[in-house]
Amino acid sequence: MHSKLLDELNENGFIVIEDFLTPEEVDSLYQAGRALCMEAPQTNRKIFSTIKAEDAHSKELYFMESGDKVRYFFEKGAVGEEGQLLVDPMIALNKVGHALHVEHSTFNAVTFSNRVREICWQLNFNRPAVCQSMYIYKNPGIGGEVISHQDSWYLHTDPNSAVGFWFALEDCTLQNGCLQFIKGSHKSGVHRRYVRNPDKDANELMVYDRAAPIYPQSSFTPLQVSKGTCIIIHGNVVHKSEPNRSQKSRHAYTFHVIETENNVKYSEDNWLQAPQDKPFPVLFERKD
């Protein structure tokens, strides 16, 4: 089957679909995200940062065991050394993950909607499964950068099959840290992997298998999009977001789909592993 969506994804590495969500859906997801802020645990707060390795969650099982749970990751700078909040709880979180699509009805409804199934169908998935989801806050002033990466670093399959669905719940601008992509970069393979540490005696449970590639800033195209927009993200396309330097947050909901048929193998050294009794939920099975 051939579709324009698939052509566009194969050409650019991403697709922008405006008004994918209704204003009511945007509002209900946004309100659910705000409610999560108040449900965040008061104790045992964990710093979440993709920048500094010594602070990284890579040393912590809290992150690695979050695949089938709703867990809370705080911004760097939001929590003091004693675990006390240094900022308003409404702007303290970096993200919540990684099973909102299963454990939370509001996020479940959008993730398993017919519109999402239709896109996966047009992208030629045969048995797509949702492996993880996140609510990302990108709060004003404190919302940190997300380093240049390919999603396949983290959600690797052989052959590569990961596709991200990223929903803007607020308008995304250069100032508040919109997504930026290197158009066509998905055609150059997977540049490195984030894997379970083969050295079982090491402190770090997760390691990168290679140094970070250098991507010139001039290669990136910023996508300034309005709330309700869905960006479809090829697993191998290089993308990033800058820190939020504005006075306005940039909430987003995102999840990832992988192929589970056609001899596609989910990598056993990915950080995220489905529990034996809870396989990744399937969106549909294509019957010939």
Q: What is the mean pLDDT of residues 265-275?
A: 96
Position 53 scores a pLDDT of: 53
**Residue 78 is assigned to a structural domain of this protein:** yes
Q: Which two tokens stand for residue 144?
A: 């940190």
- Measured CA to CA in angstroms, residue 159 lies from 1, 119, 273 at distances of 19, 20, 17
Percentage of the chain exceeding pLDDT 70: 93
**Residue 278 is assigned to a structural domain of this protein:** no
pLDDT in tens, 219-231: 999 999 999 999 9
| Domain span at 259 | 4-266
**Residue 282 is assigned to a structural domain of this protein:** no
If you average pLDDT over every residue of the chain, what do you get? 92
Least trusted range by pLDDT, from 85-89, 113-117, 134-138, 236-240: 85-89
**Residue 286 is assigned to a structural domain of this protein:** no
Position 46 scores a pLDDT of: 57
> What does the DSSP 8-state code read for residue 282?
B
Position 59 scores a pLDDT of: 44
**Residue 244 is which amino acid?**
N
**Residue 35 is which amino acid?**
A
Position 201 scores a pLDDT of: 84
Question: What is the domain-level CATH number for residue 37?
Answer: 2.60.120.620
**Residue 37 is assigned to a structural domain of this protein:** yes
Q: Using the predicted structure, report yes or no on whether residue 85 has a pLDDT greater than 90.
A: no
Position 98 scores a pLDDT of: 96
Contact 145, 242 (CB under 8 A): yes
Predicted confidence band of residue 44 (pLDDT cuts 50, 70, 90): low
Higher-scoring residue by pLDDT: 141, 184: 184
Q: Using the predicted structure, report yes or no on whether residue 60 has a pLDDT greater than 90.
A: no
**Residue 163 is assigned to a structural domain of this protein:** yes
Indicate the number of domains in the chain.
1
pLDDT in tens, 233-245: 999 999 999 999 9
pLDDT in tens, 148-199: 999 999 999 999 999 999 999 999 999 999 999 999 999 999 999 999 999 9
**Residue 46 is assigned to a structural domain of this protein:** yes
Question: How do beta strands 230-234 and 14-17 pair?
Answer: antiparallel
Contact 19, 244 (CB under 8 A): no
Q: What is the mean pLDDT of residues 38-59?
A: 60
pLDDT in tens, 13-43: 999 999 999 999 999 999 999 999 999 887 6
**Residue 288 is assigned to a structural domain of this protein:** no
Nearest to 147 by CA among 43, 242, 229, 67: 242
Residue 134: strand, helix, or coil: strand
Residue 25 parent element (H or E): helix 23-39
